C-alpha cells in the first residue's frame, strides 16, 4: 500500500533562499494508521509545553493521504513530513539494487519511534534503547529552529538507525574511525536523500546544467542548524572536507569528514564525467535529468550496498572502502562504467582514493 505525504526538501533557511519548497512524495508500507503510524515507523508527537501527546494526525483510506494543513511548519505538517522522510530513507536502503532486503532495527520491536518535539536543545539524535529518533527545538535570533524541519538532520539520524540495524557492534564502538564511520554514513545518507528530491534535481539542472558542484545545499549538511549554533554556514561542508593527510581532530564529527569528503569527490567525478561523455544538445534538460536520476541510483547503490559487507566489529575507513569495492564487484563484476578504476591513473579505488 502507498500513501502520499508532503515533505520538506531542505530546511526553511535553504528553501527560502533557493526556493526549494516542500514536495509531495509517495511512501510504501503494508499499512498506514492515524498517527502517523506504519509497520516500520510510528510518530509519537507531544506538546512540549503541556507535556501531553498531541491528537494523532488522521489518515484517510479514501484519499490515501494524511489530513494536514498546507503550512508544513504546523505540528501536524512537521509530524507527517518527518514520517515521510524517515520512510523514504528506509525505502532507499531497501531498494533491490541496494540492500535488497528489509532493514531490521537493532532493538527487539517492529517500529522505530519518531519524536518531532522531544524538548528544548540544540540537538537531534538516534537512541537504540528508547527505540527512537528524537528531534529538538531551540530559539535563535527570535526564531524557533526545529531540527525536525531539516531534511539533512532527519535523514542523517535515520541513517544512524539503519546502520545500527545492519551493523549493531558499531553503535558501541570506541575507536575513533569506528565512531566516525557512523557519522560519515549518516552524512552520506543525507547527501543521497537530498539528490532523491525531484525539486533539488530540477534546481541543479536549471542552475548548473545538472552537474554536481561544491558549495550548494547538497554538499552542505544542515545549513540552518549549523548557522544557528555558530558555524559560518553549514554544520559540515563536504566541499571543504580535510583529506586523510591533513591534521584533523579525532572527534567523530570532525574525523568523519575525511571519509565523507573523499566519497563526495568521487560522486562529482562519477556523475560529471558521465555528463561530459553524453551527447547533449542545447535544451536537452530531460536527457540531463535522466542522467542525473541514474547517477543518484548508482551512487546510492555503491555507497550503501556495502553495509552488508562490513564485518560486525570495530571498523576502519579502509574496511568500509574494501566493503564498497567488494559489494560492487559481486553485484556488477564487469564494472562497465569504470567506477572501480581511477580514470586518470588506472588504479583501483582503494584506501578511500576516489576514482
pLDDT by 10s per residue, the chain, length 355: 899 999 999 999 998 999 999 999 999 999 999 999 999 999 999 887 787 899 999 999 888 899 888 889 999 999 999 999 999 999 999 999 999 999 999 999 999 999 999 999 999 999 999 999 999 999 999 889 999 999 999 999 999 999 999 999 999 989 999 999 999 999 999 999 999 999 999 999 999 999 999 999 999 999 999 999 998 889 999 999 887 667 678 889 999 999 999 999 999 999 999 888 887 776 678 889 899 999 999 999 999 999 999 988 889 999 999 999 999 888 888 877 666 765 433 333 333 333 2
Is 177 in the same domain as 157? no
Q: Which residues contact 11 (CB under 8 A, 6 or more apart)?
A: 149, 150, 151, 152, 153, 222, 223, 224, 225
Q: Is residue 344 part of a domain?
A: no
- Kindly report the CATH number assigned to the domain that includes residue 136: 3.10.170.10
Is 226 in the same domain as 311? yes
Is 196 in the same domain as 302? yes
Cell numbers standing for residue 137 = 527545538
At which of 168, 188, 223 does a domain end?
168
Q: What is the pLDDT of residues 279-289, one digit of tens each?
A: 777 667 888 98
Cβ 212 vs Cβ 271: under 8 Å:
yes
Please tell me the number of Cα atoms within 13 Å of 12 on its side-chain side: 14
Question: Which pLDDT belongs to residue 334?
Answer: 81
Separation CA 71–CA 199 (nearest Å): 18
Q: Is residue 350 part of a domain?
A: no
Residue 37 structural domain = 2-168
- Peptide bond connecting 36 to the previous residue in cis, omega within 30 degrees of 0: yes
Whole-prediction pTM: 0.92
Is 223 in the same domain as 142? no
Q: Is residue 77 part of a domain?
A: yes
Question: Which pLDDT belongs to residue 267?
Answer: 93
Separation CA 197–CA 219 (nearest Å): 14
Q: Is residue 338 part of a domain?
A: no
Is 279 in the same domain as 232? yes
Separation CA 199–CA 176 (nearest Å): 36
In terms of Cα–Cα distance, which of 352, 191, 154 is closest to 266?
352
Cβ 78 vs Cβ 57: under 8 Å:
no
Q: Is residue 237 part of a domain?
A: yes
Is 81 in the same domain as 160? yes
Give the number of domains in the chain. 2
Question: Which pLDDT belongs to residue 341?
Answer: 67
Is 87 in the same domain as 188? no
554536481: which residue's cell?
212
Q: What is the CA radius of gyration of the chain?
A: 20
Separation CA 164–CA 330 (nearest Å): 23
Question: Which pLDDT belongs to residue 342?
Answer: 52
Cβ 313 vs Cβ 177: under 8 Å:
no
In terms of Cα–Cα distance, which of 219, 212, 210, 211 is closest to 239?
219
Amino acid at each position: 500500500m502507498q500513501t502520499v505525504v508532503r515533505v520538506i526538501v531542505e530546511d526553511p533557511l535553504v528553501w527560502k533562499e533557493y526556493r526549494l519548497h516542500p514536495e509531495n512524495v509517495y511512501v510504501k508500507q503494508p499499512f498506514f494508521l492515524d498517527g502517523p503510524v506504519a509497520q516500520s515507523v510510528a510518530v509519537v508527537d507531544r506538546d512540549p509545553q503541556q507535556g501531553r501527546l498531541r491528537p494523532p494526525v488522521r489518515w484517510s483510506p479514501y484519499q490515501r493521504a494524511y489530513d494536514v494543513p498546507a503550512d508544513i511548519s504546523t505540528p501536524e505538517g512537521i509530524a507527517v513530513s518527518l514520517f515521510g522522510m524517515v520512510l523514504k530513507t528506509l525505502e532507499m536502503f531497501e531498494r533491490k539494487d541496494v540492500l535488497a532486503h528489509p532493514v531490521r532495527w537493532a532493538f527487539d520491536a517492529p517500529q522505530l519511534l519518531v519524536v518531532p518535539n522531544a524538548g528544548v536543545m540544540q540537538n537531534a539524535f538516534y537512541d537504540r534503547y528508547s527505540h527512537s529518533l528524537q528531534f529538538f527545538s531551540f530559539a535563535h535570533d527570535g526564531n524557533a529552529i526545529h531540527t525536525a524541519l531539516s531534511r539533512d538532520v532527519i535523514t542523517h539520524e535515520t541513517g544512524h538507525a539503519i546502520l545500527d540495524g545492519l551493523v549493531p557492534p558499531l553503535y558501541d564502538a570506541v575507536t575513533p574511525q569506528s565512531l566516525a564511520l557512523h557519522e560519515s554514513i549518516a552524512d552520506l545518507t543525507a547527501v543521497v536523500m537530498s539528490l532523491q528530491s525531484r525539486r533539488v534535481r530540477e534546481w541543479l539542472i536549471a542552475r548548473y546544467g545538472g552537474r554536481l558542484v561544491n558549495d550548494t545545499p547538497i554538499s552542505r549538511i544542515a545549513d540552518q542548524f549549523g548557522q544557528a549554533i555558530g558555524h559560518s554556514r553549514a554544520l559540515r561542508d563536504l566541499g571543504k572536507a580535510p583529506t586523510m593527510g591533513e591534521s584533523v581532530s579525532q572527534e567523530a564529527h570532525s574525523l568523519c569528514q575525511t571519509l565523507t569528503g573523499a566519497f563526495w569527490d568521487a560522486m562529482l567525478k562519477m556523475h560529471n564525467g558521465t555528463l561530459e561523455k553524453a551527447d547533449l544538445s542545447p535544451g536537452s534538460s530531460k536527457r540531463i535529468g535522466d542522467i542525473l536520476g541514474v547517477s543518484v541510483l548508482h551512487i546510492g547503490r555503491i555507497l550503501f550496498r556495502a553495509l552488508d559487507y562490513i564485518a560486525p566489529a570495530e571498523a576502519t575507513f579502509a574496511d568500509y572502502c574494501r566493503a564498497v569495492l567488494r559489494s560492487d564487484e559481486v553485484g556488477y563484476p564487469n564494472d562497465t562504467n569504470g567506477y572501480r578504476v581511477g580514470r586518470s591513473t588506472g588504479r583501483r579505488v582503494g584506501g578511500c582514493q576516489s576514482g
